[in-house]
Amino acid sequence: MKKKIFLAVMLLAAMSLMSGCMMMSGNRLESMFGTKDTSTATQTVNLPAGSGDTVTISKIEYERLAKFADLADLYDMAEYYFYQEPDREKMIEYAAKGLMAGLDDPYSFYYNPEEFQEMWEDDEGNYVGIGVLISSNMETLVCTISRVFDGSPAEEAGVQRGDILYRVGEDLYVNADNVNEAVKIMRGEPGTTVDVTFLRNDEEITFTILRREININQIEYKMLDGEVGYIAMYAFAGEAEKEFEAALNSLVSQGVKSLIVDLRDNGGGWVEQARYIGDLFMDEGDLCYLLYRDGNEVQEYRTADGKNDIPLTIIINENSASSSEILTAALRESAGATVVGTKSFGKGIIQQVFSVGDEGAGCQITIAEYLTPKGNKVHEVGLEPDVIVELPAGDNGSYDFADLEKDVQLKKALEIAREKLK
């Protein structure tokens, strides 16, 4: 048993999810989850024969490690019986992935060092790839192209918004469970190509797409007429909140009197960016409440005094999720925004990102559900627009930015934004 505990110590050290945590203090974690060990009882564990060493740990920690004895057994069996030399690092990595999968939460998972680095590259908006944004539905497992970046290889090849990502290469059929693997294949060395197959109107379309450097802009904006401005925000990532503020300031300098904020197909991102943007339009108050597993409601994200009094109209759709829903609900309940479009996705839970160990790995874990400033639930419910505008049959949204002739949702939002000027 003591050998099992020793192996479990090594495995647990490799999989520790609280090592080097980011953006949350250890004291906060202890208060939320009771991780602090106050026991004075100890247990001595003998290390393998020949080492001549012992380790003294608390009784509570010993009992905690004992839960990993079966995992240590599996490690031993692979070590001694597998017919080939095992890849021990890979075994540990997949043990960590399995540990997180056991939470049965599609938003909580482990990143190996390469994946963790790629996640930060995505956030910064610079990478080598084909230039598409993918929306993954965790219920249907369908992966849909929600944005094709301007001037990207994907746009040049003919990929359209609304296309379903079906296959990458010859044999990877894509769904929400393996989409990260698909993304990894679509990336690579600049100047090389990748075959990607999409479904469009139930027909397979395959493009050979060149990989090259992609620079993502999270914000686009323009004046729609002499008094109504329009800002489209595609993700809460990078420095999108500062880009948003710069866009707003530019529109103000052009005489904007009413503003449309477009959060369609914005799957969310950093909540702090939603708070920053909310602070531009809200007086002092709460962006949202976080509801933790102990039942406590915490005022985590608050806005300050001072706001812009520009009337707001917000556009959402079924792919608007997470931080998009947080911001939309807060601006509707606390800043009088009118919401146009279709019902939002309904992701009313928040994840925290942590670093893991000292080799560059990481993880994200769902830590809380959020409620709107008025205490309304969003998770698995979504936000109902004040004015519902469905897209016409066959309209997948593949039109130019700020296209008032084809974009019926934007056209309705403009009508409402003008009414707010009266």
Q: What is the pLDDT of residues 308-318, one digit of tens each?
A: 899 999 999 99
What confidence category does residue 25 fall into, taking pLDDT thresholds of 50, 70 and 90?
Answer: very low
Cα separation, 320 vs 383, whole angstroms: 9
Model pLDDT, residue 137:
81
Q: What is the pLDDT of residues 87-121, one digit of tens each?
A: 999 999 999 999 999 999 989 999 999 889 888 87
14 C-beta neighbours (distance < 10 Å), count: 19
| Beta-strand relationship, 164-168 and 172-173 | antiparallel
Cα separation, 306 vs 310, whole angstroms: 13
Domains of the chain from N-terminus onward:
2-102 (no CATH), 126-215 (2.30.42.10), 219-419 (3.90.226.10)
Model pLDDT, residue 19:
29
Residues whose CB falls within 8 Å of the CB of residue 237, separated by 6 or more in sequence, listed in order: 122, 123, 124, 125, 218, 269, 270, 273
Q: Which of 47-51, 301-305, 348-352, 363-367 has the lowest mean pLDDT?
A: 47-51
Q: What is the pLDDT of residues 191-211, one digit of tens each?
A: 999 999 999 988 999 999 999
Which DSSP string corresponds to 218-276? Answer: -EEEEESSSSEEEEEE--B-TTHHHHHHHHHHHHHHTT--EEEEE-TT---B-HHHHHH
Q: What is the pLDDT of residues 202-238, one digit of tens each?
A: 899 999 999 999 887 889 999 999 899 999 999 999 8
Model pLDDT, residue 161:
86
Residues 355 and 303 sit within 8 Å (Cβ to Cβ): no
Strand partners, 258: 228
Residues 78 and 91 sit within 8 Å (Cβ to Cβ): yes
